[in-house]
Amino acid sequence: MASELILLQQVWLQLSQTRTLTLQSHAQQPSSWIGEARGQVRVELPTPTTQVFNESGHWSGQESHLAFSNTYRWTLLPQALRLEHLRHGEDKPVYLFDLIATDKVLQAAQAHCCGADRYSAVLYLSEQGLHLNWAIMGPHKEVQLLYCYQAN
């Protein structure tokens, strides 16, 4: 139990130091989901247990090149890290999942369902930064999103 809480605290600290992101997206079938992105992260700390990531950058896919932006809220809970998407604003968050410490990673306690698609994730620390690996499974998609958040 102590090692899981230490991992949560280490991840929490690393999140607060995040300044850039890279993303690689892979799909089993040809898809508009295949591509990569680079961007900046502006971190807001509205409370001691809340961090808001304002992400923006450039996406390059097989058929498109475009600017992107996302806003996510991370909340430190007693034994988990909650992730919410704020695409509808702070007052209407889209709950994604709670990441629970297991061994050396944080793993989604339950998948997030969006229509017929299921989103799950694993988050871990490395020398390169924080890695958030999403798996999106559905009747017409099998996608992996590999985020790397860094302090530089």
Cα separation, 52 vs 86, in Å, equals: 9
Q: Tell me the pTM.
A: 0.90
End-to-end CA distance of the chain: 31
Residue range 4-14, pLDDT digits in tens: 888 899 999 99
Token output for 116 = 């017929």
Per-domain residue ranges for the chain?
Answer: 2-150
Which CATH number applies to 2-150: 2.60.40, 3.40.210, 2.40.128, 1.10.3470? 2.40.128
Residue range 83-94, pLDDT digits in tens: 999 999 889 999
